[in-house]
Structure 1
Amino acid sequence: MQQNTTRRLTYAALMLALGILIPMVFHTFQISGGIFLPMHIPVLLCGFLCGPQFGALCGLVVPLISSLITGMPPMYPTAVAMALELLAYGLMTGLLRKKCNVYLALILSMLVGRAVSGCANLVLLGLAGKSYTLNVFLSSAFVTALPGIIIQLILVPLILIVMKKAGLTDLGK
């Protein structure tokens, strides 16, 4: 029990750090985070590896800490909306990790997270007196983000398979 808790805490801390560092690398090389979604992968992995509580917490704090440290994403409304979206990703992958296969868990988590993002942006931008249309939501959440979605669907299962084969996770047991 103690070893499992220590492992989950360690993985959560690692995913939190990667969730901040990977986007910094992308910004250094001027690679668009809105297209490739580098912050999402560590949060999705955190949910799978550490469960819903750690996944949700990681998702909530990564964009906020990143915003405070680097200014990216801007705190309001982007980082706040992303914190809610990534909270949903971490929570959902954590809840679904042993209930269905990784691809279905990823797709469902991504859909729920994007719905949360859409609602958050609608409210946050509305409070700022700005509009947020269905077309803007669909374009940013699915069209612009398509390369990142594809990368997530390839990379997350691959990382989980490698970790399982190396005995670094109990996922699937």
Structure 2
Amino acid sequence: MNMKTKQLVYASFFLALGIIVPQIFHFTGLPGTVFLPMHIPVLLCGFILGPKYGLVVGALTPLLNSLLTGMPPVYPVATSMMFELATYGLVAGLLYQLLKQSSIVSLIGSMLLGRVIGGIANAIFYTASGTGFVLSTFITASFVTCFWGIVIQLVIIPIIVKSVNQYFEKSPRLVMEK
């Protein structure tokens, strides 16, 4: 299997995880707004496959979740999340490559910039839909409500990225685009 095919297979895997993991949370009654189960596969995709795949998987994950499961609603929630998660995947991959694989700094940078882009998208789409946008509500939802999701991401993503890198150092290089 050539490298491009491998990358597409792994990107599909991360996209599938981005659909399956939130469903597990919904079935078990764990709130997605607290634990952010859609974010982890997108961030991992950016780190492991690079910015291009991270961007695409980030944009498609909320849209496909919405179309396949009805959660989140397509507009304005999934539409805003498409921008946020695409930014996570893109920036995680870019920073990881630029910072010579410093996963924690890359992760924090992508989480912050993704939330800024998500906030701008929320302001635009919620205002356009007539629901209105309240900055304090956005800040609470983006940093307070999801505190445990952020902690989980900061703990497990660097560990997974390090493990994946160690695995693929022992076998032919997997996927990171150059």
Shorter-chain TM-score: which interval?
over 0.9
Contact residue 164 and residue 170 of structure 1 kept, 8 A: no
- Displacement after TM superposition at 1:8 (Å): 1.8
TM-score normalized by structure 1?
0.93
2:58 paired with 1:45: no
Report SS of the residue matched to 2:98. Answer: coil
Code of the residue aligned with 1:104 in structure 2: it is V
Deviations 1:151-172 (A, max 9, x none): 111111111111122227566x
Structure-to-structure mapping, 1:60-79, within 5 angstroms: 60-79=59-78
Question: Match of 1:147, as an amino acid?
Answer: W
Matched ranges for 1:16-165 at <5 A:
16-100=15-99, 101-165=102-166
CA distance in 1, matches of 2:27, 2:39: 18
Alignment deviations for residues 24-55 of structure 1 (CA, whole Å, 9 cap, x no partner): 10011111000000000000011111111111
> TM (normalized to structure 2)?
0.91
Percent of aligned positions that are identical: 44
Matched residue type, 2:103: V
- Give the count of matched residue pairs: 171
SS of 2:30's equivalent in the other structure is: coil
Q: Aligned partner of 2:88: which letter?
A: Y
Look up the equivalent residue of 1:85 and give its one-letter code.
Answer: E
Supply the distance in 2 between the matched residues of 1:106 and 1:128 (Cα, whole angstroms): 32
Distance of 1:4 and 1:96 partners within structure 2: 22
Q: Do 1:64 and 1:83's aligned partners in 2 also have CA atoms closer than 8 Å?
A: yes
For the residue of structure 1 that corresponds to 2:11, the secondary structure is helix
User: 2:7·2:175 contact (CA, 8 Å) conserved in 1?
Assistant: no
CA contact (8 A) 1:51 1:95 kept: yes
Whole-Å separation in 1 of the counterparts to 2:175 and 2:131: 46
Residue 12 (structure 1) aligns with: 11
Bigger relative contact order, structure 1 or 2 (CA pairs below 8 A, ≥6 apart): 2
Note the residue ranges of structure 1 that are not aligned, 5 or more in a row: none
Q: Which runs of 5+ in 2 are unaligned?
A: none
What per-residue deviation string (whole Å, max 9, x for no partner) do you get for residues 114-135 of structure 1?
A: 0011111111110111221221
Instruction: Quote the RMSD (CA, aligned, Å).
Output: 1.6
